[in-house]
């Protein structure tokens, strides 16, 4: 979506915002259609439904857009990077890896250092209500 909307005429920031809002609305719609009617004891059924929806969304997107690789032109600053011997890592991959590590560290700190994380771990260990 963020690659299609700039072709239509939007910049990347509004295109990304539009993609996030559309995905949130789609997720809300799928939740209301398929998962909201399930009870608290239908845990396995909810997993099967979400896996099935994931497979349908993936293959539906591949059917509509195609799964062929496509080349995207990037600015020359994004294609440069760091060379370590014969290996060259572009800045986009370095930044993406750094953001992924930062997100993982933030999630780890959230789950181990906050009352919210403690509550989530307690629910994961014992799902039964009192």
As a whole number of Å, the end-to-end CA separation of the chain is 45
**pLDDT, tens only, 116-126:** 999 998 888 87
* pLDDT band (50, 70, 90) for residue 2: low
- Residue 83: pLDDT above 90? no
Among candidates 39, 53, 59, 57, which has minimal Cα distance to 129? 39
Which residue bears the tokens 């992924």? 100
Does residue 114 carry a pLDDT above 90? yes
């Amino acid at each position: 979506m963020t690659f299609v909307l700039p072709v239509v005429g939007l910049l990347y920031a509004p295109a990304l915002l539009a993609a996030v809002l559309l995905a949130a609305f789609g997720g809300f719609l799928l939740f209301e259609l398929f998962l909201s009617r399930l009870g608290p004891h239908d845990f396995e059924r909810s997993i099967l439904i979400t896996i099935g929806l994931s497979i349908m969304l993936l293959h539906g997107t591949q059917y509509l857009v195609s799964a062929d690789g496509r080349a995207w032109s990037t600015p020359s600053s994004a294609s440069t990077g760091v060379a370590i011997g014969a290996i060259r890592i572009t800045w986009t991959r370095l930044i993406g890896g750094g953001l992924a590590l930062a997100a993982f560290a933030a999630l780890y700190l959230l789950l181990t250092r906050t009352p919210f994380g403690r509550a989530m771990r307690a629910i994961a260990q014992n799902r039964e209500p009192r």
